[in-house]
Amino acid sequence: MGKATRLQEGSVYLLALLNYFFKHKKRIMKQILSAAVIIMLASFTACSPTNRLSSVTTNEAKGIISGWPAKSQEVASTIMAKYGSPNEVTGTMLVWHNNGPWKKTIIHM
């Protein structure tokens, strides 16, 4: 098959593709827009902290960890006794920043 023949076949394919697009452009654009919105929402959800609290007291943190496993509660209580209330709290994690020689200490449920 010669170069000119392949070029002609490619042109015919491109014209058929463009023809299909212009006949169905409204539906195609809706699908592309829907996919873009889903991707955007997923990225915002992945990047945003979930139920994160700042500046909580030790008693508030103890209330949050009350449903954690016993060993996790024990470790969290020990760290709170040594470094005070955590800087960040979620339902499954306590975080202290710049405590002692460490940049960050995290305790997970």
Tokens of 75: 């470790």
Whether the CA torsion 69, 63, 60, 55 is positive or negative: it is positive
Which amino acid, residue 24?
Answer: H
pLDDT band of 100, cuts 50, 70, 90: confident
Which amino acid, residue 61?
Answer: A
The residue count of the chain comes to: 109
Strand residue runs (E) in 46-92: 53-54, 88-89
Please write the tens of the pLDDT for every residue from 66-82.
889 999 999 999 999 99
Strands 93-99 and 102-108: antiparallel
Tell which wins on pLDDT, 4 or 59.
Answer: 59
Alpha-carbon gap, residue 105 to 100, rounded angstroms: 10
* Mean of per-residue pLDDT scores for the chain: 80
Residue with tokens 């005070």: 84
Please write the tens of the pLDDT for every residue from 39-58.
776 665 554 445 566 667 88
